[in-house]
Structure formats: structure tokens, C-alpha cells
Chain A
Amino acid sequence: MSRNPSSSQTKNTVYIAVFAAMIAAMGLLPPITLGIIPVPITLQTLGVMLAGALLGPWRGAMSSLVVVVLAVAGLPLLSGGRGGLAVLLGPTGGYLVGWIFGSLVIGALFKYWVLRRTGNTARFLAGLASVIIGGIGVIYLCGVPWTSVATGIDFGTSLVGSAAFLPGDLFKAVVTTLVALTVHRSYRGLMS
């Protein structure tokens, strides 16, 4: 496909902005409650995972970065209406930074691995693995040590504390994979 560069650059920027707005919108609305999981699920990290899985590494990471920048600058975009410099400096700031790297890793895995799989089962399993690695592994990898450093609580306890969010995050990983593969089927060339 040959497009003039400024046109595709504009398109990239618009995609980044729309997905950033989607991540923000997902945090503004009341969370969905499900029978199987006791904690209500906010869809915000679902948006972070989807940005990577649908837009690819670079644009996905930029979408997350835009949300983080706007929230830190003061917009109350994070779930529960949080925002401002304190969200980054506080004990859970690492998870926020993790969003950026999480969507980067999910995007890279989707672009170079998942979308090259053939066969529905192989694709789903690769997709699920990618979202778990990026959306849970990478985000926790940034968040858990950050909490540990910021509070002085040892690493193990911090890790145990984050486990409370694991069921919800696993659920979101499954949803992300299903949604991303469905959308990629009807919107081909989203990452090319």
C-alpha cells in the first residue's frame, strides 16, 4: 500500500488519540460486575491491553502514554476519578508506567507472532499468552517493585497484594484476545 507519509502520520496520530480516549472513557464509567468474580471490574486496563493488541507496539504504547500524561497533568481520567501528580508518585504509580510497556509488549507479540499464526486455536492461544505476558506480566513487573520501593514493604508481600487483581486481569486478558482476534478478522491491515 502506498500512501503519502503525512497522510499515514496523521492517521497514526488519530488512531492513538481515539484509543487513548477509549481507555479514558472505560475508566469514567461505572465498573461491570460479574457473578463469577467478587471484585467489580473496571475496564480501563482492558483498554490498555486492546490498544496494544489492535494498534501494534508503537501506536499502542503511545495511546497508553497519552492517557498517563493527561491523567498526571490533572485530568481525572483514572478509574475512581483519580488524576494529578500524586497518582504517579504514590504507591501504585508503577502500574501506570507499566501500562505503556504492557501495551508495547502486547503490540509487538501480536504483530510479529499472533497474527502470523494460522488456525483459530493456535491464534487464540498465542493471543492469550501475549496478553498475559504484556498485560499482566509486564504491568505487574513495573507495579510490584514500585509499590515495594515506595512503601518499604518487601517484594513478596507486594506480590501477594497484587494477586487480588489477578482473577479480574486474567478475565480481561481472555476478553482482549477474543475481541482483538474478532476485530482483526474484519479490519485487516490494522497493523500494516
Chain B
Amino acid sequence: MSETRVLLANIDEPDLHTIAVYERLGGYQAARKALLDMEPEAVLHELEESGLRGRGGAGFSMGKKASFIPKGSMDKYLCCNADESEPGTFKDRLLMQKNPHMLVEGCIIGGIAAGANKGFIFIRGEYETQADILDAAVAEAYERGYLGKRILGSDHSFDLVVHRGQGAYICGEETGLLDALEGKRGNPRLKPPFPANQGLYQGPTLINNVETLCNAPLIISNGAAWYRQYGEGNSTGTKIVSVSGNVQRPGNYEVALGIPARELVYGLAGGPPEGREVKCWFPGGSSAPVLTKEHLDLPYTFEAMAEAGSMLGSGAIIVVDDSQPLVPLALRLAEFYRHESCGKCVPCREGTNWTVKMLERIDEGEGTPMDLDILEQVQGNIMGNCLCVLGDSMAMPVASMLKHFRTEFERHMEEARARRDLAELQPMGADELGSMAEAGAA
């Protein structure tokens, strides 16, 4: 088994980012078909039939999400979530840099399905190169009449704006993204109301990930049945998997869902460096609970990962090999979420902070066995108790590391304590020790 390139079929074509090359390879035919030959309901129906699930992390059916948008004459919006900040994920970067028109076309089709006349691509500010490329692509699409008023002579108008964020992980959360797009601090909102009913500027809003929207032109061109031939069960289609960490060939690999995870980690990415083994791996970005090497033979699908107690998430595999101590890794992870917590909900703001403090304590040799119990308890108290899942995103992997590798945490703590005790003795030279002994004798 190897890669199944559908989204990435033309990715190595030179100058694919220009509209001329994209059109030569059949680009914008799907948008043309959706605008001129299909009713909006048919477009929506096709997307629903395909079984395409959101590629951003939650894995919710895209067609179903679009069908929740109420009909009517109010202003509706489409938002493309290109704030790819989940550690381990870098698939959208590749798509936007190499094939920006595919995303523009996907946005047009998404706009038709949602009945939206205004779309925004919210791209993270760090992706300056990719945002420049997208800006150029949008300008080209306007020039050729794929965007703007009454596109290609149809009744549908669609404007698209590339909006750059300024560096905040939480803006990848859909309601945080909406607040950032409205020019505020990117704090998540209470749900319900869901964005489909009340989103951007209080209007109904469809929010989809870059990869999800890039699938739309393929589904419209080839039909839902064609799309369903890839994948397994309710995980239809192909998925771009970003493999990183301790592997020999990190990168983006597009596979049909259902491929064994081992094939991805060892077959495509080359496995850990010579002489090392997989200790654990994140199947869906750093927010996903870790799995061990025993889980490598599971099929890589939304369902199988959920059954194993983790999630497919954004489809980013981070491999941790057996040379890596886990406490510093957990600490780095927790520090990330502490930094990125917006501070709105107490369990997340305090929970991430105390998790970092406890892990630091363990790492510096000041932890006690009770800390591990408290650590576990804190994770439990974060999960499910906040407006968004940022806190859970730290709690789940940290709790899973503790679950699978508790003895390593205990050993690390003991070793650190031993080192600390030794260090406390070290600054004393032989003279001091001698005088101390004398004092003791006296």
C-alpha cells in the first residue's frame, strides 16, 4: 500500500499556483458546473452524500454542517479556517502554497452550498508566504470572473477576503476565529448558538477547514459515489496526513482512510531513526491522546482511533521514539497550552498553569508521588468543563501519557529527586564537609 493522491495529484506541477496552469489541469470546472448546471440544493446534497468529514479536527460531516445553515434572505457567511496551529499539522500550508486556486474554488462551492455571498479565509499570520500566494490567487480569480458579482453569468455573487491573523492558537477554534475576524481578542463563545445559526456578525456562518473545502471541487466534478470509493465505513475519502517527530522522512502523505497506521509511520515516513523504536505516537496532532506501539496496526480511521481512546483529529501523526524522556515532552506540551489559553474559563486557565507547575516540579526533583495523582485529577477536572476544547486538548494527551507510562513518570521523578539531592551536596567542598563534621562532633 502506498499513497493515494487525489488532492495532491498535481501538487508537483510547476506554477500550479497560477490560474493558467490550474485551469489547464481542469481547474474551476467544478465551480462552473455548480454555478451553471446545478441547483444549490443539488450541490449540498452531493456534499452530504459524499460523507466528507471535516478535516480540521472535529470530523463533523461537512454536508450536514452546511445543511444547518437556515434558508432566507439574511446575510450569510463562509469562513475558511486556515489558522493551522495544531502542533504537528502542516497539510494546509502545503495546499495553500502549492494549490491556492483549489481552495478558492472550494470556497466558491462552499458559498453556493451555504447560500453565502461573502467569504473569508482566516489564515494565521505566521504563514506570510502562503497568505501572499492566496492574495495573488484571489486577485486572479476576480480578474477571470470567478469571484465578484453574478459569477459567470449566474445569479450567485461571491466575494472572498484573505484575512491574516496575528498569532494565536485559539483562533483555530471556530468561535474564537469569529471573534478575531470581528476585530476582538480571539475568545471562544458559548455554544449554542452555533455558528451555523449565529456566527460572524450574528449571521449564519459555515466554517470549514482548508482541506475540507479543497475536497469540494473534486466531489462536485466526479460525484459523491466516486468519492466514496476511497476510505472505509464512515471515514470516506482520502486524508493528507502530516507525519513528523522522530521519523526519517517527515512530510505530508495523502492516503485513503483505513490504511494501517504502521504503513504511515514505517512504510511512508520511514519509521524512527535506526536502532530506535516507537515509544508512543499522537494520531491526530498534539491534542490527541497518545497511543503506544501496540496500536500501530489499527486502521487509520476516525472510528478506530476513537475506539482506541484517541482521535484522528487533524490527521497529524507525531512519532516519539524510545530515546525521548516523556516528562519534558509533557511539560513542553502543557507549556504550549498554558501560553495559548485565552484565560476565559477557569478550569483551562488554572488547569494548564498548574499542570505546568507540577510537571516542572517533577522534572526538577521536587515532586512527590502524590503529584501524579493530583496531576491526573486536574486533567479530569479540565475535561468537558470549558467553553472550548483547548483545555481538553492539553488534558487528554497528558492524562494518556500518565495512563500508559506511569512507571516512567515515577522513575523520572525519583531520578530527578536523586539528582537534586546530589546537587545540594555538591557545592560543599571537602573543607566545608570537614568543618561540618567537626561542628557535629563538638
Asked if A pairs with B, the answer is: no
Interface residues of A (CB under 8 A from B): none
